[in-house]
Amino acid sequence: MTKVEAAQLMAMLVAQWPQSTVSSKTSQLYEAHLLDLDFQAAQVAVSRIAKTTRWLPTVAEIREVTCDVIHGPKRLGGEAWGDVLAEIRRVGAYDVPKFKDPATAECVRLLDWRGLCLGTNEVADRARFVELYEGLQDRARLDVIAGHALPPARGTASLGTGLSSPVSLAQLLADPHGVKGSA
């Protein structure tokens, strides 16, 4: 957004929460920390926040809801696990699975496809998968909300499973129902 749009967004905030005392320094700080957001998405986010809270939101809250507006709500690990089970039934342990959701593909790569297919403790596999999936989602969303991504880890090794290489954080937040990716 432009500086003028950031000022307009700040004016919306002050108008919505008139009981909050906002100094010019506070206003400038908000505007500076919101500049990299899409103006229309940020307006929708402020509108959503206004319907659910009584107090002036923090910059972090605005950025978090803006992330939800742009990327949709965070997908649950149990939903992604359902995709894994469907692929286990479809292709089995000796073929290459295909996932629309890059985060699902990344979890399968990290946990080893054959191990998931041939494992004897589905409850433990599901728990490990869900924990990893939700951790990857949280990391990716935090990087988007903060406006920057951490540098990639060094020395990522392939497990020799035929699965693709690690995905970027931006790919992890892509629409899991519309992205063509594979594990």
- Please provide the DSSP assignment of 101-128 as one string: SHHHHHHHHHH-HHHHHH-S-HHHHHHH
Tokens linked to 126 = 């599901």
Give the chain's largest Cα–Cα span.
Answer: 63
Give ∠ CA 71-52-140 in degrees, rounded to 5: 25
pLDDT of residue 182: 41
Using pLDDT thresholds of 50, 70 and 90, give the confidence band for residue 133.
Answer: very high
73: three-class secondary structure by DSSP: coil
pLDDT of residue 122: 94
In terms of Cα–Cα distance, which of 110, 94, 81 is closest to 176? Answer: 81
Positive or negative torsion for Cα 22, 24, 27, 33: negative
Q: How far apart are CA 107 and CA 129, in angstroms?
A: 7
pLDDT of residue 72: 86
- What's the mean pLDDT when you consider all of the chain? 83
Q: Does 33 have pLDDT greater than 50?
A: yes
Q: How would you class 166 by CB atoms within 10 Å of its CB: exposed for 0-12, middle for 13-18, buried for 19 or more? A: middle
Average pLDDT over residues 60-80: 91
Query: What is the model's pTM?
Result: 0.67
Using pLDDT thresholds of 50, 70 and 90, give the confidence band for residue 40.
Answer: very high
Half-sphere exposure of 143 (CA within 13 A, CB side): 17
Condensed to tens digits (0 to 9), the pLDDT of residues 149-170 reads 445 544 443 333 344 445 555 5
Give how far the C-alpha of residue 146 lies from the chain's centroid of Cα atoms, to the nearest Å.
Answer: 12
pLDDT of residue 177: 47
Average pLDDT over residues 34-43: 92
